[in-house]
Amino acid sequence: MARSNRKIVPESHQVLHQWKYEIAAEFGLAVAHTGGASGSADTEFAGELGTSGANSGYTSNWGHLTSRENGSVGGEITKRLIAHAQRNLMH
């Protein structure tokens, strides 16, 4: 059976993307992030760091993290989604 990655609530993409970087920061994981806005601090210093920050859209560097670190971020997102759903079901 083919899986579909169609989002039920398309607006959730931005929130999940933001959570990903917030959680990585909470875990102390160094992940460079640019949100596509020209002139952002990440883009401004990307040239000095030797990274490409001038792309449009979202770019990030998760490749240096281990599978365990990346999985921890995804697991925390799942925990938060479940907690949010449980809180909303109680009210």
Per residue in 23-71, pLDDT tens?
999 999 988 766 554 444 444 444 444 444 444 455 568 888 899 999 9
Tokens of 47: 């040239």
Give domain status of residue 84, yes or no.
yes
Tell me if 17 is assigned to some domain: yes
Say if CB 31 and CB 24 are below 8 A apart: yes
20 belongs to a structural domain: yes
* CA contacts within 13 A on the Cβ side of 77: 17
Q: Are residues 53 and 72 in the same domain?
A: no
Q: Which domain holds residue 23?
A: 12-27+66-91
b/e code 51-68 from CB counts within 10 Å (16+ = b):
eebeeeeebeeeeebeee
pTM tops 0.85: no
The pLDDT value recorded for residue 76 is 96
What pLDDT sits at residue 79? 96
Render pLDDT for 73-91 as a digit per residue (tens, 0 to 9).
999 999 999 999 999 988 6
Confidence (pLDDT) at 37: 47
